[in-house]
Structure 1
Amino acid sequence: MKSTVNIIGSGFSSLAASCYLAKAGYDVTIFEKNKTIGGRARQLIKEGFTFDIGPTWYWMPDVFERFFSDFNKSPEDYYSLEKLNPAYSVYFGKDDQITIEDTLEKITIAFENEEPGSSKKLKKFINQAKSNYDIAIKDLVYNPGVSPLELVTFSTIKKFDQFFSNIKRDVRKEFKSDKLIKILEFPVLFLGAKPSDTPSFYSFMNYADFGLGTFHPKKGMYEVILAMEKLAKELGVTIKTDAPIEKIVVENGEYKGLISNGKTYTSNIVVSGADYHHTETLLEKPYRQYSENYWTKKTFAPSSLLFYIGFDKKLKNVNHHTLFFDVDFDIHAEAIYDDPKWPENPLFYASFPSKTDINSAPEGKEAGIFLIPLAPGLEDTPELREAYFDKIMSRFESLTSQNVKKHVIFKESFCINDFINDYNSYKGNAYGMANTLTQTAFLRPKLKSKKVKNLFFTGQLTVPGPGVPPSLISGKLVADLVTKHHN
């Protein structure tokens, strides 16, 4: 008889794990608390507009290719990708922006125009970042975070010092222009920590940005979720929605089953892709590996205030991805990491998928997604959301020289309370646990429970870390561990 696996959650890591486990011969069932699958990568459809609620950046296409190729498929079998040009633009003030185009050659020209002599330094920096990327993506991140020795390879020994310097120091040593510094420090925000707390080794994110580029799946990131669902079902995976988990049943230190909607579902193994902290609250106290104190001391990646807006006209002076860095980056970072509070003058990011994709908005209209990074655990009220909407819209109008407030057909918001309600997210974080030096690899919460036999974890609070490509990898890692420990 086939061994059975229950999986909690249906985000990227859970779907990836389900595919690998089904391929390995397990009978797999996914339990998703929400009405639709995808975890944080869900969709909002309203009045002819379509928004990705969660991730909007498609980076590291090679990781997606590697995932699908493990099943003799390719992304093209399921969705079509377009490389964005420009990848994104960054506003530093009115009539003051830098555009990042789709090749390193073009980007070096933009750098040289901003700071003479910087193009040479950029090429050197990106070469180093590529070398780190090759080691990280081909080697390191596909390790299960079980032992410190995973970090010790012939390639990493040569880069050992890079775990003890940081991105901020490296960038500022080479570049003088504040604008270029901000652009080079921006990608590590995806890893959830300040550039000063992110080891130099993670410069591989800059290679992902400048070397590989930014892509858009036609019809949005949700197409990747639908592709993984299709693959999972082809492999025999069962998916249950509207199926929240009330309890993980353990007897004598061994996992026995899940209780969902009052009914018990037994299986040989359980993998949780739900929030790690939340998953442990489904266990009786003696079976939890990490105390509340453990979680409060960890550095969590930011939460976010998001707006999904339907505009009744096409907007000008913006690209598909547009960053607004016209205020002090360090002061906003302090409000996230050092002294958690709502930032006085927030940086924000905006995405206009309808600039690229006709499926995102009705003809002649624009779909806009606006994101303000926030500290997790802050108070979240309708009044605060409204105040910040006004704040960023006024700046947006002024910076892009157009009137937009009176062209809003509708707006929906999503913030800390929604991350908690919809995803059981710890303190309402949006991206998981930050990749700081003391939270890297084997120092992150473990894929395999030390206290409950046959209980495993996957997703952005465990290895390798935050982001969509790492979540795909996390699903593979946990599936490998299950097959290794269970057979």
Structure 2
Amino acid sequence: MKKNIYIIGSGFSALSASCYLAQAGYQVTILEKNKTVGGRARQLLRDGFTFDIGPTWYWMPDVFEKFFSDFNKKPSDFYELEKLDPAYQVYFDEADAITIPGHLEAIYKVFENEEPGSSKHLKAFLKSAAYNYDVSINNLVYKPGASALELVTPETIAKITQFFSTLRSQVRKHIKSKKLIQILEFPVLFLGAKPSNTPAFYNFMNYADFVLGTWHPKGGMYMVIEAMTTLAKSLGVVFKTNANVEEIKVNAQGEVEALIVNGENLETKLVLSGADYHHTETLLPKKYRQYSETYWESKVFAPSSLLFYVGFDKKLERVCHHTLFFDTDFDTHAKSIYDTPEWPEKPLFYASFPSITDASFAPEGNEAGTFLIPLAPGIKDTPQIRDEYFNLIIERLERLTNQKVREHIILKESFCVNDFIKDYNSYKGNAYGLANILTQTAFLRPKIKSKKVKGLFFTGQLTVPGPGVPPSLISGKIASDSILKTYKNEAVI
């Protein structure tokens, strides 16, 4: 008889785990509180426009390839990938932008043009980053975070100083151009931490950026969700949407015994939560929660976000598919996220215009734009504040790119802290989970396997390995491996 498991949530990590568990012979049922699957990577469809609600960057294509290859599939069996060239553009001031090409040799030329001699240092930096990427992907990120000894390998010992120095100090050791420094430091934003707090070892994100490149799945990131859902269904996974888990029932022996879903009692001995870790523990009786409110309050969280989904009735000029606006001070903005949580006075922001690459995102002659401002989680979120910041970034977009766009806006929707809480039960409305700082890395993150409740496991961005889409795919595999190992010789019905 098949072992039964319920998975809470249907984001990348939950879908990943569901596939591995179903392949291993489990009867898997996914419970999704919203009406569509995908978690933070859902899709917004309005008036002929398409928007990825969450992730818009497709980095580390090898991780996606590895996932699908574990099921004798390839990404191309499900969706079409295009490498972006240019990869992205960064604005620093009016008519002052650096465009990052899609190929490494061209990137070296961009660096050399901006700062003579810098390409030599970039090559050395990327050589170190390539080594760290190989060590990370092949030796570290698939570890379950059970022990500090997981980090002790000949390769990590050789790079031990990089765990105690910062990415910021490494980048600034030889590169002097402020613009190039910002370009090299920005990828760690995907890890949810400041460059000054991020171990230098994480320069492997720069390898992902410059060497592996930036890609676009035709139809958007939601095509990856659809691909994983199709794969999961082919393996026998059952999906239930509008299924809100209200309680995890635990028996006197400290074992999972049932879930309460929309008021209905579903008996089960095995649960994997891909939902917010903190929220999941609030579904338990207090004595079975591993981490106190004080614990969560003490953690450094990655940012939340203010997002706008905007439709324009014309094509925009002087922007790329991915465009970053770094015309204000990053450190000042970072302080408002990590040090004294408040709305930033002069925020950096990011914009994605996928319809530049992919006509399916907007009606002919129109443009779809997603704008993102990183914010401190838990701050006040009102319609008035959202409108104030929308006006601020549209004014800067017009000024920096020297074009009028405001009167061409025909669609606008927003998503912020309150929505992250409402739609995802996200702790304080965070968007990316726990920051990947040294004291919250690997075995120092919340555990995959509950220490207090038998049959309860976790996956996603609040546990190992951390924030981001590729890490979420990996987290699903780590969680499934932990479950399979735990119940290898035990019959769980």
| TM-score, with length taken from structure 1 | 1.00
Q: Which residue of 2 aligns with 1:308?
A: 309
Are positions 1:238 and 2:238 aligned together?
A: yes
Whole-angstrom CA distance in 1 between matches of 2:84 and 2:251: 52
SS at 1:142's partner residue?
Answer: coil
Once the 2 structures are TM-superposed, how far is the Cα of residue 484 of structure 1 from its aligned partner?
Answer: 0.3
**Cα deviations across residues 99-122 of structure 1 (Å, max 9, x unaligned)?**
000111111100000001000000
**Cα deviations across residues 182-211 of structure 1 (Å, max 9, x unaligned)?**
000000010001001000110000000001
Q: Which residue of 2 aligns with 1:201?
A: 201
Residues 417-436 of structure 1: pairs in structure 2 closer than 5 A: 417-436=418-437
Whole-angstrom CA distance in 2 between matches of 1:243 and 1:345: 40
Q: Which residue of 2 aligns with 1:261?
A: 262
Q: Which residue of 2 aligns with 1:87?
A: 87
Whole-angstrom CA distance in 1 between matches of 2:326 and 2:422: 30
Q: Which residue of 1 aligns with 2:491?
A: none
Counterpart code for 1:478: A
Are positions 1:328 and 2:329 aligned together?
A: yes
Q: CA RMSD, aligned part only?
A: 0.5
* 8 A contact 1:40–1:53 mirrored in 2: yes
Q: Which residue of 2 aligns with 1:401?
A: 402
Are positions 1:443 and 2:430 aligned together?
A: no
Once the 2 structures are TM-superposed, how far is the Cα of residue 268 of structure 1 from its aligned partner?
Answer: 2.7
Once the 2 structures are TM-superposed, how far is the Cα of residue 154 of structure 1 from its aligned partner?
Answer: 1.3
Counterpart code for 1:22: A
Once the 2 structures are TM-superposed, how far is the Cα of residue 269 of structure 1 from its aligned partner?
Answer: 0.9
Once the 2 structures are TM-superposed, how far is the Cα of residue 174 of structure 1 from its aligned partner?
Answer: 1.4
SS at 1:379's partner residue?
Answer: coil
Whole-angstrom CA distance in 2 between matches of 1:193 and 1:334: 11
Whole-angstrom CA distance in 1 between matches of 2:330 and 2:421: 27
Q: Which residue of 1 aligns with 2:128?
A: 128
Whole-angstrom CA distance in 2 between matches of 1:240 and 1:73: 25
Whole-angstrom CA distance in 2 between matches of 1:299 and 1:254: 31
Q: Which residue of 1 aligns with 2:140?
A: 140
Q: Which residue of 1 aligns with 2:45?
A: 45
Whole-angstrom CA distance in 1 between matches of 2:248 and 2:360: 41
Whole-angstrom CA distance in 2 between matches of 1:244 and 1:113: 55
* 8 A contact 1:87–1:214 mirrored in 2: yes
SS at 1:197's partner residue?
Answer: coil
Whole-angstrom CA distance in 2 between matches of 1:444 and 1:103: 35
SS at 1:331's partner residue?
Answer: helix
Once the 2 structures are TM-superposed, how far is the Cα of residue 267 of structure 1 from its aligned partner?
Answer: 2.1
Are positions 1:275 and 2:267 aligned together?
A: no
Once the 2 structures are TM-superposed, how far is the Cα of residue 266 of structure 1 from its aligned partner?
Answer: 1.7
Whole-angstrom CA distance in 2 between matches of 1:296 and 1:30: 30
Once the 2 structures are TM-superposed, how far is the Cα of residue 263 of structure 1 from its aligned partner?
Answer: 0.6
Counterpart code for 2:67: F
* 8 A contact 2:87–2:101 mirrored in 1: yes
Whole-angstrom CA distance in 1 between matches of 2:477 and 2:267: 23
Once the 2 structures are TM-superposed, how far is the Cα of residue 325 of structure 1 from its aligned partner?
Answer: 0.2
* 8 A contact 2:306–2:415 mirrored in 1: yes
Q: Which residue of 1 aligns with 2:346?
A: 345
Residues 8-157 of structure 1: pairs in structure 2 closer than 5 A: 8-157=8-157
Q: Which residue of 2 aligns with 1:358?
A: 359
Identity rate, percent: 70
Whole-angstrom CA distance in 2 between matches of 1:399 and 1:369: 17
Residues 454-465 of structure 1: pairs in structure 2 closer than 5 A: 454-465=455-466
Residues 165-244 of structure 1: pairs in structure 2 closer than 5 A: 165-244=165-244
Once the 2 structures are TM-superposed, how far is the Cα of residue 241 of structure 1 from its aligned partner?
Answer: 0.1
* 8 A contact 2:275–2:424 mirrored in 1: yes
* 8 A contact 1:56–1:220 mirrored in 2: yes
Q: Which residue of 2 aligns with 1:377?
A: 378
**Cα deviations across residues 287-328 of structure 1 (Å, max 9, x unaligned)?**
000000000000000000000000000000000000000011
Counterpart code for 1:413: S
**Cα deviations across residues 63-114 of structure 1 (Å, max 9, x unaligned)?**
0000000000000000000000000000000110000001111111000000
Unaligned stretches of 5+ residues in structure 1: none
**Cα deviations across residues 410-445 of structure 1 (Å, max 9, x unaligned)?**
100000000000000000000000000000000000
Once the 2 structures are TM-superposed, how far is the Cα of residue 172 of structure 1 from its aligned partner?
Answer: 0.8
* 8 A contact 1:271–1:456 mirrored in 2: yes
Whole-angstrom CA distance in 1 between matches of 2:100 and 2:20: 37
Once the 2 structures are TM-superposed, how far is the Cα of residue 138 of structure 1 from its aligned partner?
Answer: 1.3
Once the 2 structures are TM-superposed, how far is the Cα of residue 243 of structure 1 from its aligned partner?
Answer: 0.2
Counterpart code for 2:54: G
* 8 A contact 2:255–2:269 mirrored in 1: no
* 8 A contact 2:32–2:241 mirrored in 1: yes
Whole-angstrom CA distance in 2 between matches of 1:297 and 1:171: 29
Whole-angstrom CA distance in 1 between matches of 2:335 and 2:269: 46
Whole-angstrom CA distance in 2 between matches of 1:173 and 1:53: 38
Are positions 1:485 and 2:453 aligned together?
A: no
SS at 1:139's partner residue?
Answer: helix
Counterpart code for 1:415: C
Whole-angstrom CA distance in 1 between matches of 2:399 and 2:134: 42
Whole-angstrom CA distance in 2 between matches of 1:172 and 1:377: 32
* 8 A contact 1:3–1:268 mirrored in 2: no
Counterpart code for 1:153: T
Whole-angstrom CA distance in 2 between matches of 1:208 and 1:267: 41
Whole-angstrom CA distance in 2 between matches of 1:4 and 1:345: 51
SS at 2:106's partner residue?
Answer: helix
Query: How many residue pairs are counted as aligned between the two chains?
Result: 487
* 8 A contact 2:64–2:470 mirrored in 1: yes
* 8 A contact 1:193–1:436 mirrored in 2: yes
| TM-score, with length taken from structure 2 | 0.98
Which segments of structure 1 move beyond 4 Å, counting only runs of 4 or more?
A: none
